[in-house]
Amino acid sequence: MAARAYRRTRAVAQLPAATKLRFPRQRRLTILPANSDQKERPTWRMRERRHRGNGFMALQDNPHDAAGRGDASVAAPAVALGGLDITFHIEGSPPYKAVTGIDLTVSAGEFVSVVGPTGCGKSTLLNAAAGLLTPSAGTVSIFGQPLTGLNRRAGYLFQADALMPWKTALDNVKVALEPMGVPDAEADKRARDWLARVGLRAFVDRYPHMLSGGQRKRVGLAQMLIRDPEILLMDEPFGPLDAQTRQIMGNLLLDLWSKDKKALIFVTHDLEEAISLSDRVVVMSAGPAAGIVADYTVPLPRPRDIAEIRLEKAFHEIHRDIWASLRVEVQKAYAMGDGRELVEGAAS
């Protein structure tokens, strides 16, 4: 059986107000205070420079020229969120503090899933890491450099499936290279190559309405990966797919990720998916003022087959432990009338 290796994150360990609880068999988990008394600051703005047309966002003009890339940043975490507060200001309503005191680091090559009740702020965290939201307080650092605009070293796959319906699969992928000024012949070659890598060699000329949901998600993956971002931000990318297709997509993602490991932050409602894919699973509390309540290292060996890994005893053990934390937050969200859907994978 794989070694059980629960640990606190560095970020969590740094928080003085953290309360350490002892769990059965000496498992250690850190519960953070649900609320912070930090003053709300009246600053948030959604930047307009996002490209959401395709359900993905390619943030970097040229990843190899990205600001901040240099020897000094190599060892720094790919993403470091420090003391992050995000408050939304809606005209005519009181400010809404979505998340507070978020400390999260993701290393280069690390696959981290974020789970939490609906509405707790998972997408908000991804938006902050992408540079689409300016935090009300705290810092976002990318490879050791403070993020001051769009995160040009990241690719963002949104939950929404929104390929351009008037473009073929090939053209939907090629369009990701347009901002980089890649000549058409080369863009064509690279897009065909990526579509082949995601298993769509025979579908390059299909329009989105001629593709299945899973195939459209593969096109979305190819769109994101063709630009070779160093950080991948994925927001429930397989959400609308059936269970079998999700597993196929999960294995495909692991296969692509393991060949050229990127830092990956993966938001999902499916706890089994989170465990089977990830190096770490981070649990967020119910909002408002949501925080990170637990951070688990997944003690499962790689390479993994995400269907088979679910049969392992170690999988069930960590699932039980994470669900114990998550269930509390899901129930809180329900009690506040905000939990309109249960987290999947809750049965065991």
Residues of the shown chain interacting with ligand ATP in the complex, contacts defined by CB under 6 A = 88, 90, 96, 98, 116, 118-124, 287
In three-state form (DSSP H/G/I as H, E/B as E, the rest C), the secondary structure along 3-52 is: CCCCCCCHHHHHCCCCEEEECHHHCEEEECCCCCCCCCCCCCCECCCCCC
Residue 121 interaction partner, one of Mg ion, ligand ATP, none, beta carbon < 5-8 Å per kind: ligand ATP
Cβ closest to Mg ion, residue 29 vs residue 290: 290
DSSP per residue over 227-286, as a string? T--SEEEEESTTTTS-HHHHHHHHHHHHHHHHHS--EEEEE-SBHHHHHHH-SEEEEEPP
**Does 123 help bind Mg ion (rule: CB under 5 A)?**
yes
Least separation in angstroms between residue 226's CB and ligand ATP is 26
Of 96 and 334, nearer to ligand ATP (C-beta) is 96
Residue 302: burial class (beta carbons within 10 Å; 0-12, 13-18, 19+)? exposed
36 binds, among Mg ion, ligand ATP, none (CB under 5 to 8 A by kind): none
Question: Which positions ≥6 away from 69 have C-beta within 8 Å?
Answer: 143, 153
In the complex, least distance from residue 233 CB atom to ligand ATP, rounded to whole angstroms: 12
Q: Which does 287 bind (CB under 5 to 8 A by kind): Mg ion, ligand ATP, none?
A: ligand ATP
Q: C-beta of 7: minimal distance to ligand ATP in Å?
A: 24
Closer residue to ligand ATP, CB minimum distance, 157 or 177:
157
* 118 contact choice in Mg ion, ligand ATP, none (CB below 5 to 8 Å, kind-dependent): ligand ATP
Residue number, 63 or 287, with CB nearest to Mg ion = 287
Neighbours of 111 (CB within 10 A): 24
Answer with the entry of ligand ATP, Mg ion, none that 96 interacts with (C-beta below 5 to 8 A by kind). Answer: ligand ATP
Judged by beta carbon distances under 5 to 8 A according to partner kind, the member of ligand ATP, Mg ion, none in contact with residue 8 is: none
Which one, 8 or 97, has the nearer CB to ligand ATP? 97
What is 156-224 written as a DSSP string?
EE-SS----TTS-HHHHHHGGGGGGT--HHHHHHHHHHHHHHTT-GGGTT--GGGS-HHHHHHHHHHHH
Residues that bind Mg ion (CB under 5 A): 123
